[in-house]
A and B are shown apart, each in its own frame.
Chain A
Amino acid sequence: MKSLRFLLPLGLFAVLVGFLWVGLSRDPHEVPSPLVDKPAPAFSLAQLNDPGKKLGPADLKGQVWLLNVWASWCVSCRVEHPLLVQLAKANIVPVIGLNYKDTLALGRAWLADNGDPYKTSVVDADGRVGIDWGVYGVPETFVVDKNGVIRYKQIGPITPESLQQKILPLVRELQKS
Protein backbone atom coordinates (compact mmCIF):
# COMPACT_ATOMS: atom_id res chain seq x y z
CA MET A 1 0.00 0.00 0.00
CA LYS A 2 2.83 2.32 0.89
CA SER A 3 4.68 1.55 -2.35
CA LEU A 4 1.49 2.21 -4.35
CA ARG A 5 1.46 5.71 -2.93
CA PHE A 6 4.73 6.43 -4.69
CA LEU A 7 4.26 4.25 -7.76
CA LEU A 8 0.85 5.65 -8.69
CA PRO A 9 1.99 9.25 -9.28
CA LEU A 10 5.09 7.90 -11.02
CA GLY A 11 2.89 5.79 -13.29
CA LEU A 12 0.61 8.74 -14.07
CA PHE A 13 3.68 10.83 -14.83
CA ALA A 14 4.96 8.14 -17.19
CA VAL A 15 1.60 8.12 -19.02
CA LEU A 16 1.76 11.91 -19.30
CA VAL A 17 5.30 11.76 -20.64
CA GLY A 18 4.19 9.12 -23.16
CA PHE A 19 1.32 11.28 -24.42
CA LEU A 20 3.51 14.37 -24.68
CA TRP A 21 6.34 12.42 -26.31
CA VAL A 22 4.10 11.19 -29.11
CA GLY A 23 1.98 14.33 -29.31
CA LEU A 24 4.84 16.81 -29.49
CA SER A 25 6.93 14.80 -31.94
CA ARG A 26 4.12 14.85 -34.50
CA ASP A 27 4.02 17.54 -37.13
CA PRO A 28 0.72 19.36 -36.60
CA HIS A 29 0.80 20.49 -40.23
CA GLU A 30 0.37 16.93 -41.41
CA VAL A 31 -3.34 16.40 -41.12
CA PRO A 32 -4.18 12.82 -42.06
CA SER A 33 -6.36 12.85 -45.16
CA PRO A 34 -9.77 11.15 -45.00
CA LEU A 35 -9.39 10.51 -48.75
CA VAL A 36 -6.80 7.75 -48.34
CA ASP A 37 -8.42 4.43 -49.38
CA LYS A 38 -11.27 6.34 -51.03
CA PRO A 39 -11.84 6.68 -54.79
CA ALA A 40 -9.91 9.59 -56.28
CA PRO A 41 -12.26 12.57 -56.75
CA ALA A 42 -13.19 12.91 -60.40
CA PHE A 43 -12.15 15.86 -62.53
CA SER A 44 -11.65 16.67 -66.15
CA LEU A 45 -9.16 19.48 -66.56
CA ALA A 46 -7.37 21.10 -69.46
CA GLN A 47 -3.74 20.11 -69.93
CA LEU A 48 -1.11 22.76 -69.35
CA ASN A 49 0.76 22.19 -72.59
CA ASP A 50 -2.34 21.52 -74.67
CA PRO A 51 -5.37 23.28 -73.16
CA GLY A 52 -7.62 21.81 -75.87
CA LYS A 53 -7.17 18.33 -74.40
CA LYS A 54 -8.68 17.28 -71.10
CA LEU A 55 -7.57 14.63 -68.66
CA GLY A 56 -9.00 13.10 -65.50
CA PRO A 57 -8.62 10.10 -63.18
CA ALA A 58 -11.06 8.15 -65.37
CA ASP A 59 -8.53 8.23 -68.24
CA LEU A 60 -5.84 6.71 -66.02
CA LYS A 61 -7.72 3.66 -64.76
CA GLY A 62 -5.83 0.39 -65.00
CA GLN A 63 -2.46 1.84 -64.03
CA VAL A 64 -0.78 3.08 -60.90
CA TRP A 65 -0.06 6.81 -61.08
CA LEU A 66 1.00 9.73 -58.94
CA LEU A 67 -0.72 13.07 -58.73
CA ASN A 68 1.71 15.80 -57.75
CA VAL A 69 0.23 19.17 -56.83
CA TRP A 70 2.58 21.99 -57.76
CA ALA A 71 2.65 25.68 -58.60
CA SER A 72 5.19 28.16 -59.88
CA TRP A 73 4.68 30.27 -56.72
CA CYS A 74 5.37 27.31 -54.46
CA VAL A 75 8.81 27.50 -52.88
CA SER A 76 9.08 23.97 -51.48
CA CYS A 77 8.10 22.57 -54.89
CA ARG A 78 11.61 23.53 -55.97
CA VAL A 79 12.99 21.32 -53.20
CA GLU A 80 11.26 18.17 -54.38
CA HIS A 81 11.46 18.89 -58.09
CA PRO A 82 14.89 17.28 -58.79
CA LEU A 83 13.58 14.07 -57.20
CA LEU A 84 10.57 14.09 -59.50
CA VAL A 85 12.83 14.64 -62.50
CA GLN A 86 14.92 11.65 -61.42
CA LEU A 87 11.80 9.59 -60.91
CA ALA A 88 10.60 10.47 -64.41
CA LYS A 89 13.94 9.40 -65.89
CA ALA A 90 13.73 6.07 -64.08
CA ASN A 91 10.36 5.59 -65.78
CA ILE A 92 8.82 3.68 -62.89
CA VAL A 93 5.46 5.33 -62.56
CA PRO A 94 3.66 8.09 -64.49
CA VAL A 95 3.40 11.36 -62.59
CA ILE A 96 0.51 13.69 -63.41
CA GLY A 97 1.01 17.29 -62.33
CA LEU A 98 -1.83 19.35 -60.92
CA ASN A 99 -0.86 22.94 -61.61
CA TYR A 100 -2.63 24.53 -58.66
CA LYS A 101 -3.82 28.15 -58.69
CA ASP A 102 -1.30 29.24 -61.25
CA THR A 103 -1.35 30.86 -64.67
CA LEU A 104 -0.61 29.06 -67.92
CA ALA A 105 2.33 31.33 -68.73
CA LEU A 106 3.97 31.08 -65.30
CA GLY A 107 3.39 27.32 -65.08
CA ARG A 108 4.91 26.68 -68.49
CA ALA A 109 7.87 28.96 -67.82
CA TRP A 110 8.52 27.20 -64.51
CA LEU A 111 8.60 23.78 -66.20
CA ALA A 112 10.86 25.14 -68.91
CA ASP A 113 13.28 26.39 -66.25
CA ASN A 114 13.22 23.44 -63.88
CA GLY A 115 12.53 20.51 -66.19
CA ASP A 116 9.21 18.77 -66.81
CA PRO A 117 8.94 15.42 -65.01
CA TYR A 118 5.23 15.11 -65.67
CA LYS A 119 3.54 12.85 -68.15
CA THR A 120 1.24 15.81 -68.38
CA SER A 121 0.09 18.60 -66.12
CA VAL A 122 -3.52 19.61 -65.77
CA VAL A 123 -4.61 23.12 -64.87
CA ASP A 124 -6.58 23.84 -61.71
CA ALA A 125 -6.56 27.62 -61.97
CA ASP A 126 -9.20 28.39 -59.33
CA GLY A 127 -8.24 25.60 -56.92
CA ARG A 128 -11.61 23.81 -56.95
CA VAL A 129 -10.16 20.41 -57.81
CA GLY A 130 -7.59 21.05 -55.09
CA ILE A 131 -10.40 21.43 -52.57
CA ASP A 132 -12.00 18.19 -53.82
CA TRP A 133 -8.69 16.43 -53.22
CA GLY A 134 -8.29 18.03 -49.80
CA VAL A 135 -5.20 19.98 -50.84
CA TYR A 136 -4.13 22.56 -48.26
CA GLY A 137 -0.37 22.77 -48.54
CA VAL A 138 1.42 22.60 -51.85
CA PRO A 139 3.30 20.44 -52.76
CA GLU A 140 1.26 17.33 -52.11
CA THR A 141 1.57 13.96 -53.78
CA PHE A 142 -1.05 11.23 -54.05
CA VAL A 143 -0.52 7.59 -55.02
CA VAL A 144 -3.52 6.25 -56.98
CA ASP A 145 -3.91 2.53 -57.65
CA LYS A 146 -5.20 0.70 -60.74
CA ASN A 147 -8.80 0.95 -59.57
CA GLY A 148 -8.56 4.71 -59.12
CA VAL A 149 -8.35 4.54 -55.32
CA ILE A 150 -6.04 6.91 -53.43
CA ARG A 151 -3.61 4.79 -51.43
CA TYR A 152 -1.22 7.32 -49.96
CA LYS A 153 -0.87 11.04 -49.54
CA GLN A 154 2.38 12.88 -49.01
CA ILE A 155 1.93 16.34 -47.53
CA GLY A 156 4.77 18.70 -48.27
CA PRO A 157 7.78 18.02 -50.47
CA ILE A 158 8.83 14.48 -51.33
CA THR A 159 12.12 13.60 -49.65
CA PRO A 160 14.57 10.89 -50.72
CA GLU A 161 13.49 8.95 -47.60
CA SER A 162 9.76 9.21 -48.26
CA LEU A 163 10.32 8.25 -51.90
CA GLN A 164 12.49 5.20 -51.13
CA GLN A 165 10.70 4.02 -48.01
CA LYS A 166 7.06 4.81 -48.66
CA ILE A 167 6.12 5.83 -52.18
CA LEU A 168 8.20 3.52 -54.37
CA PRO A 169 7.63 0.32 -52.34
CA LEU A 170 3.89 1.07 -52.38
CA VAL A 171 3.93 1.74 -56.13
CA ARG A 172 5.75 -1.56 -56.81
CA GLU A 173 3.32 -3.46 -54.62
CA LEU A 174 0.32 -1.85 -56.31
CA GLN A 175 1.73 -2.50 -59.77
CA LYS A 176 2.01 -6.21 -58.97
CA SER A 177 -1.58 -6.59 -57.83
Chain B
Amino acid sequence: MKRILAAAGLAVSLFFVSAVSHAQPDAALDARLKSLFEELRCLVCQNQTLADSSAPLAEDLRREVRELAQQGKTDAEIKQYLVARYGDFVLYKPPVKPTTWLLWFGPFAFLLGGGLVWFIVLRRRGRVGSDIDPTQAANRDSDQGGNARARALLDESNNS
Protein backbone atom coordinates (compact mmCIF):
# COMPACT_ATOMS: atom_id res chain seq x y z
CA MET B 1 0.00 0.00 0.00
CA LYS B 2 2.81 2.37 0.99
CA ARG B 3 4.59 1.60 -2.24
CA ILE B 4 1.50 2.38 -4.27
CA LEU B 5 1.10 5.68 -2.44
CA ALA B 6 4.75 6.54 -2.99
CA ALA B 7 4.41 5.76 -6.70
CA ALA B 8 1.28 7.89 -6.95
CA GLY B 9 3.02 10.75 -5.14
CA LEU B 10 5.96 10.49 -7.50
CA ALA B 11 3.66 10.54 -10.51
CA VAL B 12 1.85 13.62 -9.23
CA SER B 13 5.08 15.48 -8.47
CA LEU B 14 6.50 14.56 -11.88
CA PHE B 15 3.35 15.92 -13.45
CA PHE B 16 3.83 19.22 -11.66
CA VAL B 17 7.51 19.35 -12.58
CA SER B 18 6.63 18.97 -16.25
CA ALA B 19 3.81 21.53 -15.91
CA VAL B 20 6.22 24.06 -14.41
CA SER B 21 8.86 23.49 -17.07
CA HIS B 22 6.22 24.21 -19.76
CA ALA B 23 5.11 27.43 -18.07
CA GLN B 24 5.80 30.75 -19.71
CA PRO B 25 8.55 32.97 -18.40
CA ASP B 26 6.26 35.76 -17.15
CA ALA B 27 5.05 33.98 -14.03
CA ALA B 28 3.72 37.12 -12.34
CA LEU B 29 1.46 37.94 -15.28
CA ASP B 30 0.29 34.34 -15.46
CA ALA B 31 -0.60 34.30 -11.79
CA ARG B 32 -2.48 37.57 -12.14
CA LEU B 33 -4.34 36.34 -15.21
CA LYS B 34 -5.20 33.07 -13.53
CA SER B 35 -6.90 34.78 -10.60
CA LEU B 36 -8.60 37.18 -13.01
CA PHE B 37 -9.90 34.34 -15.20
CA GLU B 38 -11.36 32.71 -12.12
CA GLU B 39 -13.53 35.77 -11.48
CA LEU B 40 -14.90 35.86 -15.03
CA ARG B 41 -17.66 33.74 -16.44
CA CYS B 42 -17.62 31.94 -19.73
CA LEU B 43 -20.75 33.08 -21.59
CA VAL B 44 -21.11 29.81 -23.48
CA CYS B 45 -20.85 27.28 -20.67
CA GLN B 46 -22.28 29.49 -18.01
CA ASN B 47 -21.31 27.54 -14.94
CA GLN B 48 -17.64 27.64 -15.79
CA THR B 49 -15.11 30.37 -15.29
CA LEU B 50 -12.91 31.57 -18.10
CA ALA B 51 -10.12 29.63 -16.40
CA ASP B 52 -12.03 26.34 -16.59
CA SER B 53 -13.75 26.62 -19.93
CA SER B 54 -12.37 25.28 -23.16
CA ALA B 55 -15.07 26.86 -25.33
CA PRO B 56 -13.68 28.78 -28.33
CA LEU B 57 -15.17 32.01 -27.00
CA ALA B 58 -13.42 31.47 -23.66
CA GLU B 59 -10.12 31.04 -25.51
CA ASP B 60 -10.75 34.29 -27.39
CA LEU B 61 -11.64 36.11 -24.21
CA ARG B 62 -8.55 34.78 -22.43
CA ARG B 63 -6.44 36.03 -25.34
CA GLU B 64 -8.21 39.40 -25.20
CA VAL B 65 -7.73 39.71 -21.44
CA ARG B 66 -4.06 38.73 -21.72
CA GLU B 67 -3.49 41.40 -24.35
CA LEU B 68 -5.24 44.04 -22.27
CA ALA B 69 -3.13 43.07 -19.27
CA GLN B 70 0.03 43.28 -21.37
CA GLN B 71 -1.05 46.75 -22.46
CA GLY B 72 -0.92 47.72 -18.79
CA LYS B 73 -4.66 47.78 -18.06
CA THR B 74 -5.65 47.23 -14.44
CA ASP B 75 -7.93 44.37 -13.37
CA ALA B 76 -10.77 46.84 -12.84
CA GLU B 77 -10.33 48.26 -16.35
CA ILE B 78 -10.30 44.78 -17.86
CA LYS B 79 -13.47 43.83 -16.01
CA GLN B 80 -15.09 47.07 -17.13
CA TYR B 81 -14.11 46.24 -20.72
CA LEU B 82 -15.91 42.91 -20.53
CA VAL B 83 -18.92 44.23 -18.60
CA ALA B 84 -19.44 46.89 -21.29
CA ARG B 85 -19.74 44.11 -23.87
CA TYR B 86 -21.36 41.23 -22.02
CA GLY B 87 -23.02 42.81 -18.98
CA ASP B 88 -22.57 42.09 -15.27
CA PHE B 89 -23.18 38.42 -16.01
CA VAL B 90 -19.49 37.94 -16.93
CA LEU B 91 -18.55 38.71 -13.35
CA TYR B 92 -18.82 35.77 -11.01
CA LYS B 93 -19.23 38.21 -8.14
CA PRO B 94 -22.09 40.54 -9.03
CA PRO B 95 -21.56 44.23 -8.17
CA VAL B 96 -23.59 45.83 -5.38
CA LYS B 97 -26.12 48.20 -6.95
CA PRO B 98 -29.88 48.81 -6.62
CA THR B 99 -30.86 45.95 -8.94
CA THR B 100 -28.74 43.49 -6.95
CA TRP B 101 -29.67 44.69 -3.45
CA LEU B 102 -32.16 41.86 -3.08
CA LEU B 103 -29.45 39.40 -4.05
CA TRP B 104 -26.87 40.81 -1.64
CA PHE B 105 -29.04 41.76 1.30
CA GLY B 106 -31.99 39.37 0.81
CA PRO B 107 -30.43 36.57 2.88
CA PHE B 108 -29.77 38.96 5.76
CA ALA B 109 -33.35 40.22 5.52
CA PHE B 110 -34.53 36.61 5.78
CA LEU B 111 -32.23 36.03 8.76
CA LEU B 112 -33.62 39.13 10.43
CA GLY B 113 -37.21 38.06 9.68
CA GLY B 114 -36.53 34.56 11.00
CA GLY B 115 -34.92 36.01 14.13
CA LEU B 116 -37.96 38.25 14.65
CA VAL B 117 -40.37 35.29 14.36
CA TRP B 118 -38.19 33.29 16.74
CA PHE B 119 -38.17 36.15 19.26
CA ILE B 120 -41.95 36.61 19.08
CA VAL B 121 -42.60 32.87 19.48
CA LEU B 122 -40.24 32.64 22.45
CA ARG B 123 -41.83 35.63 24.16
CA ARG B 124 -45.33 34.29 23.64
CA ARG B 125 -44.31 30.87 24.97
CA GLY B 126 -42.85 32.55 28.06
CA ARG B 127 -46.15 34.30 28.72
CA VAL B 128 -48.15 31.09 28.25
CA GLY B 129 -45.76 29.38 30.68
CA SER B 130 -46.48 31.89 33.41
CA ASP B 131 -50.22 31.24 32.89
CA ILE B 132 -49.67 27.56 33.65
CA ASP B 133 -47.49 28.04 36.70
CA PRO B 134 -50.26 28.78 39.29
CA THR B 135 -52.11 25.55 38.48
CA GLN B 136 -48.87 23.62 38.74
CA ALA B 137 -48.30 25.26 42.08
CA ALA B 138 -51.81 24.19 43.16
CA ASN B 139 -51.06 20.66 42.03
CA ARG B 140 -47.90 20.70 44.04
CA ASP B 141 -49.85 21.90 47.06
CA SER B 142 -52.36 19.13 46.68
CA ASP B 143 -49.47 16.72 46.27
CA GLN B 144 -47.96 17.98 49.47
CA GLY B 145 -51.30 17.37 51.15
CA GLY B 146 -51.24 13.86 49.77
CA ASN B 147 -47.77 13.36 51.13
CA ALA B 148 -48.82 14.46 54.56
CA ARG B 149 -51.75 12.06 54.52
CA ALA B 150 -49.50 9.22 53.36
CA ARG B 151 -47.03 10.00 56.11
CA ALA B 152 -49.83 10.01 58.63
CA LEU B 153 -51.03 6.63 57.36
CA LEU B 154 -47.48 5.28 57.46
CA ASP B 155 -47.01 6.53 61.01
CA GLU B 156 -50.31 4.87 61.97
CA SER B 157 -49.22 1.54 60.56
CA ASN B 158 -45.79 1.82 62.20
CA ASN B 159 -47.35 2.53 65.55
CA SER B 160 -49.69 -0.37 65.44
Contact = CB atoms under 8 A, between A and B. Distances in A.
Interface of A: 28-29, 31-35, 101, 126-128, 130-134, 136-137
Interface residues of B, number: 14
Contacts of B60: 126-128, 130-131
Nearest to A132: B85
Nearest to A133: B85
A28 B83 CA distance: 17
A131 B64 contact: yes
Contact of B85 (A28, A126, A131, A137): A131
Instruction: Give the dominant DSSP class at A's interface.
Output: loop
A136 B44 contact: yes
Given A31-B43, A131-B64, A136 B57 contact: yes
Interface of B: 43-44, 46, 56-57, 60-61, 64, 83-87, 89
A31 B89 contact: yes
Contacts of A32: 87
A134 B56 contact: no
B87 A33 contact: yes
B56 A136 contact: no
Nearest to B81: A131
Contacts of B57: 127, 136
Contacts of A28: 46
B44 A134 contact: no
A33 B83 CA distance: 10
A131 B86 CA distance: 9
B44 A137 contact: yes
